[in-house]
Amino acid sequence: MFRRPFLIAAASALSAPSLAFAQGRPVRVVVPFAPGGQSDTVMRLLQPKMAEHLGVPVVVENRPGGGGAVGAGVVAAAPPDGTTLFFDSFGFVVQPLIQRGLPFDYATAFAPVAQVVAAPYVLVVTQGFPATDVAGFLAEARRRNGVPYGTPGIGTVGHLAGALLAHRAGVVLEHLPYRGGAESARDVAAGNLASAIGTANSFKPVIDAGRARGIALTSADQRGSLAHLPTIAASGFPGFDLTSWNGIFAPAATPRDVVLRLEAAAAAATSDPATRDRLAATGNDAITAGAEAFGAVIRRDGEMVRRLVAETGISLAG
């Protein structure tokens, strides 16, 4: 995935996209999830500084559905002129394993522009659950012969992290996919769901309110707004590392000069101190990684997901 250089149109076609982008047309960023979620929140925090750098309006358009495939299809079919972009999450590397019969190929339809945040997920339990650490959580799962865990959906970091933990620990964890992290957080807070794995953006408010208990982070190191929590890796599972991200994509044939301009706009936003603080408050670490570095992340995570699926036998069917 993304091993080839950007697809460059014939020289006679290069001037048209670049000219369209320079004529002050707004940049539309398609977020393939509902308003208020992780991806939507991050993009709207980046929006002002990106618009300031580009000198044109940046408009966020939510196109939820199909686990992100609906929004992806909109951008895959858009003119490669830099005025329609795709803002996706870690699910970008999982969708090709889930979706069948799409009119586009995730591996060839998009050019990575920039990674903008990294977001560790957190394992949480409802306040009445008798565990304060990973060892206690797993002991209770064995005692009960299984514990349900909610996630933002099939193929998310939460889903994969739960499957990997269950596999490595030899316990039963029952996956309960929700339509988003906020919904699973509400059920944990209400005591209707024993445990969940989701973003700090979803769970920090209920943890701070004393309605849920943070157990451990899924990332390799302690980071984000819940960095005081231990990691699963340091709790007896060395090498455990599942971290979500958000990043910007353009249609694959977007000219290199346009991609570089968009990359610079993303960097201007993620390097702005006030924007970084706002991102941190939502549990996101700002990342300034351009097209090449972001492409490497996508290749690495895609290979990791394929290995995880083969190792655990996890089902990505809906």
The confidence score (pLDDT) of residue 38 equals 84
User: Quick check: helix, strand or coil at residue 84?
Assistant: strand
Contact 96, 269 (CB under 8 A): no
Backbone dihedral region for residue 122 (phi beyond 0: left; psi -120 to 50: alpha; all else: beta): beta
Confidence tier at 9 by pLDDT (50, 70, 90): very low
The confidence score (pLDDT) of residue 18 equals 58
Same domain, 252 and 210: no
The verdict on residue 297 lying in a domain is yes
> Using one digit for the tens of pLDDT, what is the confidence trace for 160-173?
999 999 999 999 99
Same domain, 130 and 91: no
Specify which residues 285 forms β-bridges with.
Answer: 118
The verdict on residue 286 lying in a domain is yes
Domain boundary among 218, 235, 252: 235
Distance CA 266, CA 114 (A): 7
Place of tokens 């670049």: 18
The verdict on residue 156 lying in a domain is yes
> Using one digit for the tens of pLDDT, what is the confidence trace for 223-256?
888 999 999 999 999 999 999 999 999 999 999 9
**How many helices and strands, by DSSP H and E, does the chain display?**
12, 10
Mean pLDDT of the residues in the chain: 90
Domain boundary among 172, 205, 235: 235
User: Quick check: helix, strand or coil at residue 282?
Assistant: coil
Instruction: Of 93, 94, 149, give the one whose Cα is nearest residue 318.
Output: 94
The confidence score (pLDDT) of residue 309 equals 87
Confidence tier at 158 by pLDDT (50, 70, 90): very high
Report the relative pairing of strands 110-126 and 285-289 from DSSP bridges.
antiparallel
- pLDDT higher than threshold 80 for residue 8: no
Supply the CATH number for residue 231's domain.
3.40.190.10
The confidence score (pLDDT) of residue 19 equals 55
Average the pLDDT over 164-188 and give the result.
93
Instruction: Of 314, 30, 32, give the one whose Cα is nearest residue 177.
Output: 314
- pLDDT higher than threshold 60 for residue 4: no
Same domain, 124 and 172: yes
The confidence score (pLDDT) of residue 22 equals 58
Same domain, 127 and 113: no
Residue 130 belongs to what domain range? 119-235
The verdict on residue 2 lying in a domain is no
> Using one digit for the tens of pLDDT, what is the confidence trace for 94-132?
988 888 788 999 999 999 999 999 988 999 999 999 999
Confidence tier at 13 by pLDDT (50, 70, 90): very low
Same domain, 222 and 307: no
First to last CA, the chain: 24
Q: What is the DSSP letter of 25?
A: P
Average the pLDDT over 31-37 and give the result.
86
